[in-house]
């Protein structure tokens, strides 16, 4: 299959390499910055371009792997006579944004991507949506070549997945940074809590999170929570997070008791 990558960042890099390894031809890589386009294009034996008017119209599939805030702008600049399937890979963007094309859809990998960190996409779930059977079948077929877990998913379901991923991944990582800074301020290593982070991550692989919740809030240990709250008094934003999270844990416990 002939593929054009529109974007050269984290997702474009991983999916582009995966599709190329599966035997597909990457015709072009587009980036607003030609150096970025060329860097990925060279790795994929492809052509780098930085003008959307130069898009090859003979591709079977056009993957829009750009930031959500520029997605509409990129779509508006794409040639309207594209006959191949055009798809974005955004979790929070409705499929209807692509409705100016005849064949379009979404291929959304539920994963956190970093350009320079290898990923095993075979175990990454892919949510697929198409505006017609042709689009869906092409996207579903492509996804199954690089992943063992591909499933149909409409735009509302995909948005739920995206918000859930923000809570589970982005927010938890931000809390890890709070823990890092708190430990550093007291001459302690973040390595000391890596095992408990690992243990928590392993528990939720086989249990509903509420069933393995621990800590002072689930016990409604007000004395300990008050001590913690006072200990971080120099960081009102941390206090607010601590209070809100504790309230959530207590409310969840009460609703399930």
Question: Residue 208: CB partners within 8 Å, gap ≥ 6?
Answer: none
Domain boundary among 130, 153, 176: 153
CATH number at residue 230: 1.10.1040.20
Q: How far apart are CA 215 and CA 225, in angstroms?
A: 10
Q: Considering the entire predicted model, what is its pTM? A: 0.88
β-strand pairing of 104-109 with 126-130? antiparallel
The alpha carbon dihedral of 50, 51, 56, 59 has a sign of positive
Q: Which residues of the chain have pLDDT under 70?
A: 115-116
3 to 62, 153, 223, 252: CA distances (angstroms):
6, 23, 60, 47
Residue 97 contacts residue 75 (beta carbons within 8 Å): yes
Cα(150)–Cα(65) distance, integer angstroms: 18
Q: What integer pLDDT is reported at residue 113 of this predicted model?
A: 77
* Cβ-based burial of 133 (10 A; exposed 0-12, middle 13-18, buried ≥19): exposed
Our count of domains for the chain comes to: 2
Shared-domain flag, residues 213 and 146: no
Are 207 and 245 in the same domain? Answer: yes
Dump strand ranges (E) for 32-146. Answer: 47-49, 61-64, 85-88, 104-109, 126-130
**Domain range for 74:** 2-153
Q: In terms of domains, do 99 and 62 share one?
A: yes
Q: Which residues of 11-22 are buried (b: 16+ CB within 10 A; e: fewer)?
A: bbbbbbbbbbee
Q: What is the pLDDT of residue 115?
A: 65
Q: What sections of 191-233 are H helices per DSSP?
A: 194-203, 222-231
- pLDDT attached to residue 3: 98
Residues 30 and 70 in one domain: yes
């Amino acid at each position: 299959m002939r593929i054009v990558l529109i974007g050269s960042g984290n997702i474009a890099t991983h999916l582009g390499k995966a599709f190329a390894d599966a035997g597909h031809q990457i015709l072009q890589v587009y980036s607003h910055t030609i150096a970025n386009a060329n860097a990925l294009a060279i790795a994929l034996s492809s052509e780098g371009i930085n003008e959307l008017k130069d898009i090859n119209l003979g591709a079977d599939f056009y993957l829009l792997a750009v930031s959500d805030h520029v997605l509409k702008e990129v779509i508006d600049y794409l040639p309207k006579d594209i006959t191949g399937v055009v798809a974005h890979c955004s979790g929070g963007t409705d499929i209807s944004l692509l409705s100016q094309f005849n064949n379009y859809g979404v291929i959304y990998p539920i994963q956190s991507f970093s350009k320079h960190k290898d990923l095993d996409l075979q175990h990454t779930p892919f949510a697929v949506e198409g505006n017609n059977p042709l689009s869906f079948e092409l996207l579903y077929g492509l996804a199954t070549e690089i992943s063992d877990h591909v499933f149909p998913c409409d735009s509302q379901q995909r948005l739920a997945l995206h918000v859930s991923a923000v809570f589970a991944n982005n927010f938890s990582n931000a809390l890890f940074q709070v823990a890092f800074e708190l430990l550093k301020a007291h001459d302690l290593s973040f390595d000391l809590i890596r095992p408990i982070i690992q243990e928590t991550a392993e528990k939720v692989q086989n249990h509903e999170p509420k069933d393995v919740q621990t800590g002072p809030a689930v016990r409604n240990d007000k004395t300990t929570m008050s001590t913690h709250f006072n200990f971080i008094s120099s960081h009102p934003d941390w206090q607010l997070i601590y209070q809100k999270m504790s309230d959530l844990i207590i409310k969840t416990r009460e609703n399930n008791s």
